[in-house]
Structure 1
């Protein structure tokens, strides 16, 4: 009987593999190599086991074996298997050998894996160092993974590999500090967003800044049948590759994840217009500086360039052009313009979007006047990698029948678990927010339903403390008790001074 490989064992092997790179290159970079190697090992072990099964079933009949293998999810040829790479681990050209294997995997599986590895270079001197150092690291990496079996008959549950991938992305994000927030939204926050937008069967689900894809997967998992269409776009090439691998490891083979700048070059289009989605979630970069540079023509001087609404062929900034140094509302407007009728959208943003003036104030006014804003939820501080600042969630809906906005302040003590490096939302905290959102009632010191008229009276300022009063009155001071305490302290002081005097006399001082 084959030994079952546990989640704990896989996670342990992966974390030890990370030791190969620690102290040599940044974890926000070396994650790409470890997670890619995990994907190759998974493809290779699965394929090898199926080859053995078909060889036995068809008694070595190569034509029948080949026909059966052609129906597999992924096809590998011998020189792109992990075993082949491991056999070449001492070769001075090992980096190039791995690159060629990745290219072969892409070419053999063009329908599914086209472009998945194009931004991962195992032979990069700039990232992995000179040949001798690079070869030593890659040899060590292959040896670590050789100790790990990901054969379907041994891992039992296919989710285990997807879970391991998610575990490692989370660990790397924590390790990478500020850069970690660029490719990963903490699982608990992703879970909260997913429950707030409540995806349904046959929904198109979209994340315009999808990072490694974990948030999209959480949303898809809310639909028991998984009958949803997944769309995403990511600007960072290596992170785009991770997102595609992440999808495949979670059994989502038809996700459409594009690589490019969502603001300057949105790639999910229908008949040249922005595609519409029923559910949109996002954790865009907070207050992105120079967000509009993709709209500048070649040779344009960065300092002289000024973004104008007319430069966008999709007319997303007609409500107002966000400040050059803060792209928050650029992403919000892109999402609102991509929202289908009856669509729901939830996005994480810095609190400044709730009250900043100038063009941001105009955009905010337009969204409220059009009755698109459904709720504003304040989150605890230090939930996200690389930043201690508290964030908020803004929930939007198309075709709203209500004339109010729900405010929830979930930032206070007791609404999260404190941790040294990063605070966490517990299951009970998520449940409380979702329940308050669904019930839509005023709850003392936690939630408040504000009419649109009330918001307009506040000059469209959405700062949560204006609506949810969390001020705790201090107990009145008992002056008689204070007087007694002062008297007692004076008596104790006299006694100490008297005792001190005795000691000094005994010492002859």
Structure 2
């Protein structure tokens, strides 16, 4: 086992231990559990990162028996100089915020108040950089008073002590040199029990790694030129899986991330994801709010025009009841944004309103000149013969801004049975379009009560390579022109564009007649069997007494 794997196992053990503490104090599976776990974990991470960076800046701290004691001996000016050199990605802490300080004071009266005050103090000190904003301009700070989730005041001190004693046994200092693969796996483990549909308006599905990897690798091919100072956007960001993969493909220091999501829980998880992946500079661009009814005006351009983004990735909700504000969207100002129209409100099954159509139109109109996007859509979108779906496809074709489609295997998401495809948009594609059907790839596995399809690494690379190289592969992919798509009623289904093959057999007339005769005999026998079965059923029904 490698060192990285050892530390990953230790980090997972810490997460499990924190969950065990919550369960012991009656918060297992409680709505507050995810806040406690993620925030306490984050406090530990920020404390250790402060130590890691401080020791790099001032090597004498690394030689001291206790770096915490050594740092408190610095003059106020020296301490201030030290914190100024930490960089924007590291939270600023005061000595009273250190984990060692908390650990040493756990036997004092009302320790839970000291614990909460530490978290709130760190949040206030770092509010400018680490706060998520709402669409209305309010700030959602980094931490809550976590011990107040314990309803019995007499149990708050023991709860805080139990948490602190779990944190002191492990250090992140040895793994800050690890990269995206390490932290993406750790983040997935951390949130695996908290990133599912809990009955809210937006289902916060964790996008599978294979989907995220394929989207990023096609949007940003490894053979392409290095990018710099590009903007990346997700209007339904969830916990940020797609954006993390995209940022890693571009380079975390070469892009800025912009997001909006209606879920406060998702926005908090996204912030944690950004911190783990060295994207702290993008936290001020995380907006919690309704993208469809109140798209956040980032106003990044000097003329005040709505921002257009270089890259967009999204796995938006497919079906959702938005009937309560549907009519509010039907305005002159929204005509360009929703160019293909607004779904009507059905008399029944309002929860099945196709909100993905609105997200998709919003994405198309938010794309910068020459920009690229990848969006998860229900596979039915590819072939709808009329309505908004067809109008969107027609718009993409007629404006020559379509790169292609990858239709994924069924159950690629364990949490939904809907077949999904990835729509790739390229504002700069004047050439051919790739339609790829990967529905037959993958291996079925059980995940809890659900069945899930997993793609192998070789299959992922096959999809990425075939798409990026624009290769036609029998029964997998086809390369077509915009004109050919228009001739097929703008269908983006690979199957409808595959060449129909007819196999001819070289047989004699006699052999052909014998095969026809045999087929007729089998057909006659089938008809006779059906007739006998019908008589038997009729006889049994007549023998029954229905009175």
TM-score range normalised by the length of the shorter chain: 0.7 to 0.9
Q: TM-score, normalised by structure 1?
A: 0.78
Q: CA deviation at 1:47?
A: 2.8
Q: Deviations over 1:72-130 (max 9, x none)?
A: 232112443334555566789666655433332122223322348638544587x7655
CA distance in 2, matches of 1:384, 1:134: 39
Residue 241 in structure 1 maps to residue 268 in structure 2: yes
Q: Equivalent residues in 2 for 1:98-497 (5 A)? A: 98-115=115-132, 118=141, 121-123=144-146, 129-131=151-153, 138-150=160-172, 152=173, 154-155=174-175, 157-159=177-179, 162-163=183-184, 165-169=186-190, 171-172=192-193, 182=204, 184-198=206-220, 200-202=226-228, 203-223=230-250, 226-255=253-282, 256-267=285-296, 268-269=298-299, 270=301, 271-290=303-322, 293=324, 296=325, 305=327, 307-310=329-332, 312=334, 315-324=336-345, 325-356=353-384, 357-402=386-431, 404-412=432-440, 415-421=441-447, 422-468=452-498
Superposed CA RMSD: 3.9
Name the SS of the counterpart of 2:193 in structure 1. helix
Distance change (3 Å), C-alpha of 1:471 and 1:69: farther
Any conservation in 2 of the 1:35–1:165 contact (CA below 8 Å)?
Answer: no
Q: 1:39 aligns with which of 42, 47, 65?
A: 42
Q: CA deviation at 1:444?
A: 1.2
Q: CA deviation at 1:374?
A: 1.9
CA distance in 1, matches of 2:30, 2:315: 21
Any conservation in 1 of the 2:197–2:205 contact (CA below 8 Å)?
Answer: no
Q: How many aligned residue pairs are there?
A: 461
Any conservation in 2 of the 1:379–1:411 contact (CA below 8 Å)?
Answer: yes
- Name whichever of 231-240 and 13-22 sits farther off: 13-22
Residue 12 in structure 1 maps to residue 38 in structure 2: no
Any conservation in 1 of the 2:342–2:358 contact (CA below 8 Å)?
Answer: yes
Q: CA deviation at 1:250?
A: 1.5
Q: CA deviation at 1:323?
A: 4.4
- Name whichever of 260-269 and 84-93 sits farther off: 84-93
Q: CA deviation at 1:343?
A: 0.9
Q: CA deviation at 1:195?
A: 0.4
CA distance in 2, matches of 1:388, 1:169: 25
Any conservation in 2 of the 1:339–1:345 contact (CA below 8 Å)?
Answer: yes
Any conservation in 1 of the 2:120–2:143 contact (CA below 8 Å)?
Answer: no
Q: Deviations over 1:14-47 (max 9, x none)?
A: 1232234458454886333212211111211333
Distance change (3 Å), C-alpha of 1:169 and 1:123: closer
Q: CA deviation at 1:326?
A: 0.9
Q: CA deviation at 1:132?
A: 5.6
CA distance in 1, matches of 2:101, 2:205: 31
Any conservation in 1 of the 2:123–2:142 contact (CA below 8 Å)?
Answer: no
Name the SS of the counterpart of 2:358 in structure 1. helix
CA distance in 2, matches of 1:279, 1:104: 36
Which residue in 1 is equivalent to 2:75? 62
Q: CA deviation at 1:339?
A: 1.0
Distance change (3 Å), C-alpha of 1:455 and 1:28: farther
Distance change (3 Å), C-alpha of 1:133 and 1:468: farther
Distance change (3 Å), C-alpha of 1:175 and 1:462: closer
Q: CA deviation at 1:369?
A: 2.0
Which residue in 1 is equivalent to 2:349? none
CA distance in 2, matches of 1:75, 1:464: 53
Q: CA deviation at 1:67?
A: 2.1
Name the SS of the counterpart of 2:453 in structure 1. coil
Q: TM-score, normalised by structure 2?
A: 0.73
Distance change (3 Å), C-alpha of 1:71 and 1:120: closer
Name the SS of the counterpart of 2:454 in structure 1. coil
CA distance in 1, matches of 2:277, 2:366: 26
CA distance in 1, matches of 2:217, 2:500: 25
CA distance in 1, matches of 2:409, 2:399: 29
Q: CA deviation at 1:276?
A: 1.4
